[in-house]
Amino acid sequence: MKKFIFAIFISTLVLSACTEEASTNIIENEDIEGLISSTLENAEKYDVSRFEEFELENVIDGDTIRIKYNGSSEKVRFLLVDTPETNHETLGEQPYGPQAKEFTKQLLAGQDTVYLEFDVSYRDKYKRLLAYIYTKEGISVQEQLLKHGLARVAYL
């Protein structure tokens, strides 16, 4: 049921992104610091005590991080969102890819751990873990990427 409600929330964000007002949410690198500050103050917070906690190693791009999982280093792909590429073998760097990566990096800055909520499929065809990602404050990284126009809904 939670996944259904989350999908409806994401769909609502996508529809609002189609309006002229929401299209101004796409940000430049210099705006990210202020946006992070606002996000930390105003974002909806979830109870992370029901999610699994893992050590955060680094941010790979806007929708992928690396964590310590069962003693080894593993990539985690964010469920239900897709951000522009930053270093794709055929697509190269896409518009707003660096901004999406920087947003995720700054949102997770200072976090030793992240909280993951797994869905029924733990891995994708590239063997990456698949999860919803939350900060220690309970902020959904996926929701914030969508809200600020740095990701699109994908993989429904």
Residues designated as active site:
77, 85, 128
**What is the C-alpha to C-alpha distance for residues 26 and 18, in angstroms, rounded to an integer?**
12
Write the CB contacts of 42 (distance below 8 Å, at least 6 apart in sequence).
none
Judge whether 84 and 62 are in contact, CB under 8 Å.
Answer: yes
Buried b (16+ CB within 10 A) or exposed e, 130-154: bbbbbbeeebbbbbbbbbbbbbbbe
Helix (H, G, I), strand (E, B) or coil at 33: helix
22 CB-contact burial (10 Å; exposed 0-12 / middle 13-18 / buried 19+) = middle
